[in-house]
Structure 1
């Protein structure tokens, strides 16, 4: 055993002594410290099934359950006592009415109250073949089709001069800048809803930082082998946008799973309009190349296909903690793409003896942000 292991052994010994002997302070806490999180509420013909997580420091026991302020007999699986970071399921035999709202309160043995809400009662969808196909079609409408339609602008964009191509790249930066802000906001909102023990908002920042650094290291490794082609950069843009569209699918799937079909339909229309501009950004690095139709199909699938996966996750297994992490990873990927395109603009401007931050590029960047903002007005989450 090496000398370097001694500090670790001493650390383990100290933690053991503190946990077994205590600190010597005998004061009892003024109030019990408990934290229960209702992870999911499943509605079936027989009633409600709640999946509850104990994110507090100690075990907690649920003594009573209320549905709309009425006490109700329930069944616990495996137990009413939940250990730290453990889960239990609560089955409530209740004749709910479709479309009605319900509030379910959990009262612990210490008298603390935790609640879960069903905004609009509707039977929770099960992942059968029909539902899986329906969600896949929704994701295809929201992701693949609008991105593909945006890519159809490629022949028109190729008519631009070098200065026009620079402006298109600046426009892409504006589009992506709006997306990265939007992605961070959505991730932080979900992270705040996640159980505190999992540090949901922290996961957004960690995911963004690590994905940005990972892609940056990968990009630098490729640069040592040769300069990155426009096709590679287009695939990077499509990948970053795809992660963002996965988040959009999460929102749509969660809306349908919670019974808010009207909201889900509105989101489909809004995101479809919103995502058409993304295809323009993906096509911009290809303006000096001659891509084949297979390249465009692959880019449309990479940029829009994750919306299908996101709709499945949101509709069947939505989880605030994982969703916050996904949004963070997506934001980091988009930031890295902005960095790469920014380098392209500076490099190309230097070759032509023009400033990278020209009035034309500034106007194009502003237009990109304005376009995304205008189309985002069709979306309300």
Structure 2
């Protein structure tokens, strides 16, 4: 298989994320449907946190088993830094956005109202969450693209194709996870917004495939996986707060379970095919 074909398949794997994005265009969901959409997204994202951290820890675990202390310390430190930046960085970013939103909502003085109208529009909380989810998934997908490119570069074309199929299935469910906060709040994003969210979430798979063809580096992969895990974990915490406010504990529990099972089901397809 040529380099161009592998790159093209990597792009397809990334852009299957668009299969789940149109759910964000649902009209006026009921409170129970809102809670269900939010909870399924939580389940999918919890699975992704586990999946990302598992892949990030694999090189470190392998180095430890071989008593390669320098390599394991480097990989573990990289993962810790990535997690910290991904999680704590979003906490501070969200605080800054909150302060902007508050100042925009409270004009004071004679010309303040006119100034507020001219100020850049602050993204809604649901819109900000959707962007954060897309960013976290994009970081994750860049690392997946690196794996595809690395496999192809090492001549393991069958593994590369299996990775493309598996990541494509994962990305289809991830698209739903991105727009779930918008659907849960009854916000209908424009098709242009969905296009940009898909590019942010799925485009890095294509870029990672390009980079991975020429660069085989565990540290780089661990760094992006750590950033992804931290950012996705932050979003899970936020969505859990939304779920608690609904008061629909039983429905939320079953839908989180459904989201988890969807994540494991797509992963099982890849494992079975690889076996």
Do both share a fold (TM > 0.5)?
Answer: yes
Contact 2:24 2:188 in 1 (8 A): no
Q: Which residue of 2 aligns with 1:221?
A: 96
TM-fit CA distance, 1:140? 1.6
TM score, norm. by length of structure 1? 0.60
Q: In structure 2, what is the Cα distance between the partners aligned to 1:265 and 1:159? A: 40
TM score, norm. by length of structure 2? 0.82
TM-fit CA distance, 1:179? 0.3
The SS at the match of 1:152 is helix
- Counterpart of 1:342 (choices 240, 257, 261) is 240
Is 1:154 paired with 2:42?
no
Is 1:185 paired with 2:54?
yes
Is 1:212 paired with 2:87?
yes
Q: Which residue of 1 aligns with 2:217?
A: 319
Q: Which residue of 2 aligns with 1:251?
A: 147
Q: In structure 1, what is the Cα distance between the partners aligned to 2:148 and 2:175? A: 21
Listed as ranges, the matches of 1:100-139 within 5 Å are 131=3, 133-139=4-10
1:334–1:314 Cα change, 3 Å: same
Contact 1:135 1:308 in 2 (8 A): no
Is 1:297 paired with 2:182?
no
Is 1:143 paired with 2:18?
no
Q: Which residue of 2 aligns with 1:82?
A: none
Larger strand proportion, structure 1 or 2? 1
TM-fit CA distance, 1:345? 2.5
Q: In structure 2, what is the Cα distance between the partners aligned to 1:158 and 1:263? A: 41
Q: State the structure with more CA Rg.
A: 1
Q: In structure 1, what is the Cα distance between the partners aligned to 2:21 and 2:40? A: 15
Contact 2:150 2:216 in 1 (8 A): yes
Per-residue CA deviation, residues 330-380 of structure 1 (Å, 9 max, x unaligned), is: 111111111222223334x2xxxx35xx11000000000000100111224
Per-residue CA deviation, residues 302-347 of structure 1 (Å, 9 max, x unaligned), is: 1101101211222211201221111111111111111222223334
Unaligned runs of at least 5 residues, structure 2: 103-123
Q: In structure 1, what is the Cα distance between the partners aligned to 2:216 and 2:195? A: 29
Q: In structure 2, what is the Cα distance between the partners aligned to 1:279 and 1:183? A: 17
Q: In structure 1, what is the Cα distance between the partners aligned to 2:203 and 2:69? A: 32
Q: Flag the structure with more relative contact order, 1 or 2, with Cα contacts below 8 A and sequence separation at least 6.
A: 2
Q: In structure 1, what is the Cα distance between the partners aligned to 2:61 and 2:199? A: 31
- Counterpart of 1:363 (choices 237, 241, 254) is 254
- Counterpart of 1:377 (choices 252, 262, 268) is 268
Is 1:237 paired with 2:133?
yes
Listed as ranges, the matches of 1:274-289 within 5 Å are 274-287=170-183, 288-289=186-187
Larger helix proportion, structure 1 or 2? 2
